[in-house]
Amino acid sequence: MLSNLAVRDVETLVHPYTNLATFREQGPLVIERGEGIYVYDTAGKPYIEGLAGLWCTSLGFANAELVEAAREQMAKLPFSQIFAGRSHDPAIALGEKLKEIAPAAISKVFFCSSGSEANDTQVKLVWYMNNALGRPAKKKIISRIKAYHGVTIASASLTGLTANHADFDLPIANILHTACPHHYRFAEAGESEEAFATRLAAELEEMILREGPETVAAFIAEPVMGAGGVIVPPRTYFPKIQAVLERYDVMMIADEVICGFGRLGTLFGSTALDIRPDSISVAKALSSAYLPIGAVMIPERMYQAMLDESRKIGTFGHGYTYSGHPVAAAVALKTLEIYERDDIVGHAARVAVPFQRRLKALAEHPLIGEARGMGLVGALEIVADKASKAPYPTAKGVGARCTALALEEGLIVRNLGDSVALCPPLIITEAQVDDMFDRLTRALDGTRDWIAAG
């Protein structure tokens, strides 16, 4: 029997990434408040938020400094747009800070409200730049199978997951997908990680040559793939990929929406994975998700092309009402201040050691085919047979059953198919890491027993 609040939800809201048909019977888990790494439902039950919301609430919940930063800015200037040459201090200061800490030479910063908007903007700016440079055919952007880059028409096209394309008439033209760097699933028999990375770089080069280098503009990638299953590429993958890109003047777009701001134990994932980005997308942990804000970090070559187009057209015809929103920008500035002052990135790197140790130990669990991760993000892939890597039938819903049992244990995790993902707030302690994995282990044991019971 659904509660009154649950019934109101079912009759009012459309929930993203939810089976809308079965949800009508199951209803929502309604979260009422949060503190630290915990959230509490309407019955007062606490849960470890093991996915940091959606890979984003890096400083945990109820951070008083972020609340106060929002309150102060709300009282001073709750909104001002930056269209037509207007500006305000929070957006200026945040842009300056992002330029200062960026893992590449950045000329300007464009603000938006989400990672989807940031990556959608990346597509538009790449096309815009190449028109300005007199290269109207150089428009194709290569993403990867199992990548996740958002859900707008362009960013969902970049996303390499079939559910994001099916019956949405996606992907749009000029978006291509190359191989996924998941060694466990896609390596050939006996192929080492080094050889696998070499082959994937060769396949990318073959795609560029087949399409015509004069038509291929950019390659976009997450340092570690998030919603595609927390896929960590082989160590030499990105250097090999970038050698190909540089050979054919193909831009490297780093999607740092999940990996940025400490998730991999470095300020940016690009540093951890030896990526040399031309442009960068950020969002999520930029404000610890307390307010929606994203950004595109733009290189000088692209900015000069934007200037040329403005001279020709008379304006830069792109932007959002909430670009550089002063309250969101103020909260993001305070977030970056806390990261630096409290050495949050260093803390994440230190706690990542026991996190990865407990994660990798679960590779021995009878249900787990692969335990993979880096920094404070990881996934456990459930398989029916370890030797053959055979999965359970999709209809059985083993991953979903595991996450449901984790909820009973007071742990929120997310199943990506039959991979169970973890991405806790960066402020998590070693003792809390152990508690989280103890709860997850009990959920895995319960899933094993549920499977055995038929």
Q: What digits encode the pLDDT tens for the residues 82-106?
A: 999 999 999 999 999 999 999 999 9
Decide: 291 and 70 in contact? Cβ < 8 Å: yes
pLDDT for 454 equals 81
Q: Give CA–CA dist 186/194, Å, rounded.
A: 13
Q: What digits encode the pLDDT tens for the residues 333-391?
A: 999 999 999 999 999 999 999 999 999 999 999 999 999 999 999 999 999 999 999 99
Q: What digits encode the pLDDT tens for the residues 125-166?
A: 999 999 999 999 999 999 999 999 999 999 999 999 999 999
Whole-number Cα distances in Å, 313 to 131, 192, 364, 367: 12, 52, 61, 59
Q: Give CA–CA dist 378/52, Å, rounded.
A: 12
Give the full edge-to-edge strand order of the sheet including 419-422: 368-374, 377-382, 419-422, 414-416
Q: Is the pLDDT of residue 280 over 80?
A: yes
Query: Cβ contacts of residue 284 below 8 Å, gap of 6+?
Result: 54, 55, 56, 58, 115, 257, 258, 260, 261
Rounded to an integer, what is the distance from CA 100 to the centroid of its chain?
22
Q: What digits encode the pLDDT tens for the residues 56-82?
A: 999 999 999 999 999 999 999 999 999
What is the biggest distance separating any 2 CA atoms in the chain, rounded to whole angstroms?
A: 70
User: Which contiguous run of DSSP H or E holds residue 235?
Assistant: none
Query: Cβ contacts of residue 79 below 8 Å, gap of 6+?
Result: 325, 326, 327
pLDDT for 315 equals 96
Q: Give CA–CA dist 55/332, Å, rounded.
A: 16
Domains of the chain: 4-62+343-452 (3.90.1150.10), 66-341 (3.40.640.10)
Task: Classify residue 171 by burial, with Cβ atoms within 10 Å: 0-12, 13-18, 19+.
Answer: buried
Confidence of residue 303 (pLDDT cuts 50, 70, 90): very high
Percent of the chain scoring above 70 in pLDDT? 100
pLDDT for 337 equals 98
Q: How far apart are the first and last CA of the chain?
A: 26
Q: What digits encode the pLDDT tens for the residues 164-198?
A: 999 999 999 999 999 999 999 999 999 999 999 99
Q: What digits encode the pLDDT tens for the residues 46-62?
A: 999 999 999 999 999 99
H helix runs in 264-343, sequence order: 269-272, 300-313, 326-341
Decide: 345 and 91 in contact? Cβ < 8 Å: no
User: Which contiguous run of DSSP H or E holds residue 55?
Assistant: helix 52-55
Decide: 269 and 281 in contact? Cβ < 8 Å: no
Q: Give CA–CA dist 187/146, Å, rounded.
A: 15
Q: Is the pLDDT of residue 1 over 80?
A: no
Average pLDDT value for residue range 218-230: 98
pLDDT for 427 equals 98
Task: Classify residue 27 by burial, with Cβ atoms within 10 Å: 0-12, 13-18, 19+.
Answer: middle
Q: Give CA–CA dist 225/159, Å, rounded.
A: 11
pLDDT for 122 equals 98
pLDDT for 2 equals 79
Residue (of 393, 366, 395, 394) closest to 380 by Cα position: 366
Q: For residue 173, give the 3-state DSSP assignment.
A: coil
